[in-house]
Amino acid sequence: MNAFKIGTVGVLALSFGIACSHDEKPAQTGYEESMSPAARSAPSAPGTLGTESSERLSDPQITTVLRAVNVAEVDQARTAVGKVQNEEVKKFAEMMIAQHGQSVKDIDALNSKLGYQQTDSQLATELGVKSTQVGQKLSQTNDASIDRLYMLNQIDEHRQVLDTIDSRLVPAARRDEVKDLLQTMRPVVADHLQMAQRILDGLK
| Tens-place pLDDT, residues 26-85 | 344 443 443 444 344 444 443 445 444 567 899 999 999 999 998 999 999 999 999 999
Residue 22 lies in a domain: no
Residue 36 lies in a domain: no
Residue 49 lies in a domain: no
What is the structure's pLDDT at 53? 55
Report the share of the chain in percent with pLDDT over 90. Answer: 60
What is the structure's pLDDT at 69? 92
- Which CATH number do you get for residue 190? 1.20.1260.10
Q: How far apart are CA 83 and CA 81, in angstroms?
A: 6
What is the structure's pLDDT at 151? 96
Residue 6 lies in a domain: no
Instruction: State the residue range of the domain holding 101.
Output: 57-202
Residue 50 lies in a domain: no
Q: How far apart are CA 4 and CA 75, in angstroms?
A: 18
What is the structure's pLDDT at 54? 64
Residue 41 lies in a domain: no
In the chain, the number of structural domains is 1
CA angle 81, 84, 89 (to 5 degrees): 80
Q: How far apart are CA 110 and CA 186, in angstroms?
A: 17
Q: Is the pLDDT of residue 106 over 50?
A: yes
